[in-house]
Amino acid sequence: MPRIGIFDSGFGGLTVQRAIVSLLPSVDTVYLGDTARLPYGTKSAATVTQYALKNARLLAGHEIDLLVVACNTASAVALPALRAELEVPVLGVVEPGALVAARATRTGRIGVIGTEGTVASGAYQEAILRARPGAEVVARACPLFVPLVEEGWTGEGDEVVQSVVRRYLSPFRGEGVDTLVLGCTHYPLLKRAIARELAGVKLVDSAEAIALEVLSRFPQAPSPEGEHRFLVTDSPEKFRAVAGLFLGRQVERAEHVDV
């Protein structure tokens, strides 16, 4: 079975790894979390592209058949550079998420939330317009969402969580969007709190969208379960402590690498 390389700035991309393995239990995966240099979302496109290339080169050394860029910010700014450099296909999370949103909306008014880097790049806005010309897209950065999730403060109804969610998302209500793209791998962990603020709005999780895209490339064959490795650039202990939040199960082993 194929081996899929997946990288993210840190932990969030584990939701992408999880969605892929859930649909394709027999693939092997090598996950790289660039925890020594996270976050990517607040950094410039030039710096994020440089980091993405280093991550991709390391994963290319693991005989991968496909590279999945699980980080929305890196997908938004670094795909052309990654495709120019790598010999294997490179998939980002932006395009699949945009396609799902373009199909889901009835009113043609779509909201996008993500990091500062993702929103500033305009990548989701462009991809949605390619898929659905004439759509109206409103994009907004939500910088507090990632630290909230990493602190473990995600509960629906929690005073802090709902007040931050309300501050960022209440403007969407007046703008009449019926579909919202959760354009950062951390955001699905806030899904219930977001749904409480924006009742009736369809929430699009790009981790699920890209997993379907990967599935379409590798028709399933009956075979044993795949093997999964986890590499990180900062402390493996901290990675193991946080990974469960995103993966829904414990990671037994994570290995330190320099990129």
Shortest separation between residue 172's beta carbon and a copy of itself, angstroms: 17
CA 259 to CA 249: how far, in whole Å?
Answer: 27
87 or 258, CB closer to a copy of itself? 258
Instruction: Report yes or no: 64 and 4 within 8 Å, Cβ to Cβ.
Output: yes
Which one, 112 or 232, has the nearer CB to a copy of itself?
232
Q: How far is the CB of 84 from a copy of itself (least distance, A)?
A: 22
- If the CB atoms of residues 32 and 110 are measured against a copy of itself, the closer one turns out to be 32
Judge contact between 93 and 13, C-beta under 8 A: no
Burial (CB count <10 Å: 0-12, 13-18, 19+), residue 200: exposed
Distance of CA 179 to the CA centre of its chain: 18
Of 28 and 230, which CB lies nearer to a copy of itself in the complex structure? 230
**Residues with catalytic roles:** 71, 184
Cα torsion 153, 204, 16, 46 to 10°: value is -90
Helix (H, G, I), strand (E, B) or coil at 7: strand
Specify the residue, 29 or 35, whose C-beta has the smaller distance to a copy of itself: 35
**47 SS3 class:** helix
Q: Sheet containing 90-92: which strands, arranged edge to edge?
A: 90-92, 66-69, 3-8, 28-33, 228-232, 255-256
CB of 57 to a copy of itself, least distance (A): 18
How many other β-carbons are positioned within 10 Å of the β-carbon of residue 1? Answer: 17
Q: Which is nearer to a copy of itself, 124 or 239 (CB)?
A: 239
**Would you tell me which residues interact with a copy of itself (CB under 8 A)?**
35-38, 42-44, 46-47, 143-144, 146-148, 150-151, 153, 159-160, 163-164, 167, 233-235, 238
Report the SS3 class of residue 108: coil
Least distance in Å: CB of 70 to a copy of itself? 19
What is the smallest separation between the CB atom of 237 and a copy of itself, expressed in angstroms? Answer: 8
Instruction: Find the shortest distance in angstroms from Cβ 229 to a copy of itself.
Output: 20
Helix 123-131 and helix 94-104: axis angle, to 10°?
A: 50
Query: If residue 223 lies in a helix (H) or strand (E), which one and from where to where?
Result: none
Gap between the Cα atoms of 130 and 123, Å rounded: 11
